[in-house]
Amino acid sequence: MHKSLGFLLLYLSVSSLASDPDPVLDFCIPSSTTACENPTLATPDDFVFTGIRSAGNFSDTGLSSSPVNHAVFPGLNTLGMSAVRADLKPGGINPPHFHPRATEMVYVLHGKVYAGFVDSTNRVFAKVIKRGDVMVFPRGLVHFQMNVGKRPATVFGCFNSQNPGTQKIPNVLFGSGINDVLLEKAFGLSIKQVIEMRRRFLPKPHH
């Protein structure tokens, strides 16, 4: 086999594994007994979702995040896409985070939001986006939003993956089991400061 052809085939095979698989059916409504429900049993309700008409519960950072995925919206199953509604109180933030399996595109429904991402050279691409604006966050890059207006803001985001994944940087660093001494050396913090950060980001125990 010609060397360049071999590299091309290798590239194509790797690229095909780097995104959600293409569907082989028109749609696949999840079933408790089989992979997909009999398509003749599907109804228009399977392809309509009304769960993001209003904001959900807000976190301590002033963020309400309402995911739209196949778990709540059966019609999305196997289609390689998902979405999210994000509401931000004035001054509220969506902390730095990234999606390992998807590019995200956001549309501002209303409000004024400082949004951006950081590339692999640590260059920040950020600006204030307003109602009607669209911004894209490339796959796997850290990005963030903050409401810089005086009124609540709402952003709608869509992903090119059924399961984009979300890893919030503060939670990943201080809410996991990374060694305290490593964190102390990496960030120039004292052990006392590391412990305090852990208190803020460790998962709360369920009662």
Contacts of 2 (CB under 8 A, 6+ apart): none
Is 2 one of the annotated binding-site residues? no
Burial of 60 per CB tally in 10 Å (0-12, 13-18, 19+): exposed
Is 104 one of the annotated binding-site residues? yes
Is 206 one of the annotated binding-site residues? no
Residue with tokens 């939001």: 113
Give the C-alpha distances (Å, rounded to integers) separating 190 from 181, 198, 202.
9, 12, 18
Give the C-alpha distances (Å, rounded to integers) separating 45 from 69, 125, 179.
15, 40, 48
SS (H, E, C) 127-192: EEEECCCEEEECCCCCEEEEECCCCCEEEEEEECCCCCCCEEHHHHHHCCCCCHHHHHHHHCCCHH
Contacts of 7 (CB under 8 A, 6+ apart): none
Is 38 one of the annotated binding-site residues? no
Rounded distance, CA 147 to CA 62, Å? 9
Is 110 one of the annotated binding-site residues? no
Q: Which residues are annotated as part of the binding site for Mn(2+)?
A: 97, 99, 104, 143
Which residues are documented as binding site for oxalate? 94, 99, 104
Q: Which residues contribute to the annotated binding site?
A: 94, 97, 99, 104, 143
